[in-house]
Structure 1
């Protein structure tokens, strides 16, 4: 399985091993030296989706994207380790990962023209499509590959929900960088559109993933507390829901309740209109996993003389920085290899991957997300059927 905790632990151990070496080299640091950045925590607050490790920032600058992306990654080289470390750790077939890593490394070298980088990213995107659509398979349904590890990883994409979601995230990253390398005055617009389309359409309508999400929704829970009762939820389904929540938070941020397919969704294919119909359907929002990784705020108020509860649900604030030591944004000045002058870049680390797509004029002017308002009747167990029938209408 894709282990976010294991990757964070590995990176923090590498940073911790480098700190004593730096201290031995200079035992008397200068008074004006900057304090060392804290090691990333492995708590739920610092967990990020696989896609966020591959798209950790947004850069605004003039000139070719391959040039200013190269300088932005070299300025914060810890993001390079996270990018390549995530590609190495994810349990997916090696060919699309190698093509994406090759394009990324050649972009950092700065010698290859942008059209060659785009060709590499497009080849990686095509391999991800083959992997998801089960192309290049033999008559028996197995992929033709010499490496048994790749054969097992390819087979798991069709049968393991978490690996299938990770394959979609890998395809979204390849498509993102392929659109960035295109010749455009605003390259981030098509890149954000293609990532949003993959998450809001392809992932949401995937039958296998939808089946697992509905299985999680139908699991019996306590109506008052949301605690699960009966058998435990399968680990694969729980890891899928965790990754789905992190993915949508990283992709859309505090605007993830905006309409997708003309419906407001809590996560994946679960519509807010369906979740908020009855106390039994609302219990999924009280689930411990949803409360820990969902990052939404619920306000409750009694209305209609205490017979109903009015709920207001909205997304909480997000911190999109993949490393807490990174600033919210910064200005980077580098040498332009084409003109020889200075290249000014504004790098944002605290922005979602996708741009906002659908919103009302009121939400746009106020710059706030959608708030779902609904009402649920308060169950009074000491009332008769006659009182419930007339008073709750």
Structure 2
């Protein structure tokens, strides 16, 4: 059996999508499976050496246009409208024997490509890996738009996305869901009874466990950031966006400091809420107790986590987080620190009885405050409780540990 994977990604940037692709294909290759990756990647060093790479040139920048038109027009029309893109894609597929193969398409645009290739007879099947759900994003924009024009645009985008997803996912031969909750979403919105299902959460690559702490380096970083041994450090890393809960965390931090003067907060990130975050810090007069960094490379994250006592993922309730296990949560578990995360369905699928981390009710500042207060008061006890979580994650929460899902 051959496993053929397709993506237009060039892997020049590290993010959740590229980490998932690396994790899946490397885990399969490590098990001795015949893995072929058709992509725009030039650097093959992050991949298992046994993977057969076929590089395609795309330089494609009209993702939204192609997907919107896919919802409206026949597949033959789409391929005619983007001749250079599909010429390059088909050049890559012609170099592969498609007999006795499973063909996977990784990301949202890739999934559209798989549908179009099947509908025009270029391939006879495809399996999609779902990373996100566009209609949810557009529905959120529609609900929260104050402008009539923006609301109308969001409504149109939502309708096109639903039409696109109906075509692409109902025509697929298989779908890889990121959680059982995501599987329920699709079954509630589309007819999926003829589509084979796989559930493979967002997981960790083995490479994250190779990183080791240099104590001298950590001490230097601690001194650079003005962190003392008696400080208790709350830690947040992620995008400053409306659903992130970073503003909730700042308000809760202000309350906690009244009882815990040794408390400091480390904020790593940037995003659309940056202005609001800075204003809130100023209004609450918290600047001297908050350490901020932005533009931090993913590879550097673990060095900053090493300074934390409690890592907080304060995301507000939203459909996406309820269905998708965020990479930042998994990275937090690897840190070996106490982790506080929202009690989303996706999280509870792996964090049964709070064996991996401490839950709070998403969007509930009062509960976040109580949970963090509990964690500060029971810091030594909880550190002992969660001391083996890193090892558990290494054995149970990597793509290597769950890749058999795609082989069965």
Place the TM-score, normalised by the shorter chain, in its bin: under 0.3
In the superposition, the TM-score normalised over structure 2's length comes to 0.23
In the superposition, the TM-score normalised over structure 1's length comes to 0.23
Bigger RCO (CA 8 Å, 6+ sep): 1
